[in-house]
Structure 1
Amino acid sequence: MIKDLRRFVNQLSEREAKKILLQTMIRLEMIQESNELPKQMIDDLHSWYKGILTLSRNNRNVEIEYKAVHIVCGESPAGSLRVGLGRENKVIGFPDFFAVGPILELHKIFQQEN
């Protein structure tokens, strides 16, 4: 059970984890301020917990295999390509226009990151 919970938490994106943490904190604050019986509070938290697990298992992102990856200068052209090419192609839009000149010493920067 604990291993499953660890696996579940490790698969969460940062955004999902923050949402769940915030909702948990809000839920606990509401329980503390309410006049519910302890048994009702525990039942409520447990059902909420089960709901999160069920939703996250059903909404897991699936990796998509793309036919091609297109790199475009500018977000507007990238958006147009996404609409025109459809979901079977990955389009990456850079906000800079790289045709103006070379990217100086890119190989050195890349080596430093590795």
Structure 2
Amino acid sequence: MEIHDLYALFLQHPHLQTDTRQLQPNDLFFALKGPNFNGNQFARLALDAGAAFVVLDEPTDFTDDRIINTNDTLETLQQLAKYHRQQLVIPFIAITGSNGKTTTKELIHEVLST
């Protein structure tokens, strides 16, 4: 699936989830992998919980029209985020560093809110 096709699905289902415990009906579920988990193992659970689509990078033991296969789920999620950002015509502010990010974010929010 091309990223613009996935983006069209995102526009129809704008809530993304990577944790089935937080999944709401019609969310898009991205099956991420980490050192202690593999989201691909929760694909059926996500669909049973009402996910609109699941994005996987491993084969499943079942078929469903709502499965989107990709080579790398994390990379696909990053591409979707980048594509979404490119559709927006608004300024962005990046806050980095090892200390004070949350405080700085809150201060910027207060200043820009006025």
What is the TM-score normalised by the length of structure 2? 0.27
Higher helix content, 1 or 2: 1
Structure with the bigger RCO (C-alpha within 8 Å, sep 6+) is: 2
Larger Rg: 1
What is the TM-score normalised by the length of structure 1? 0.27
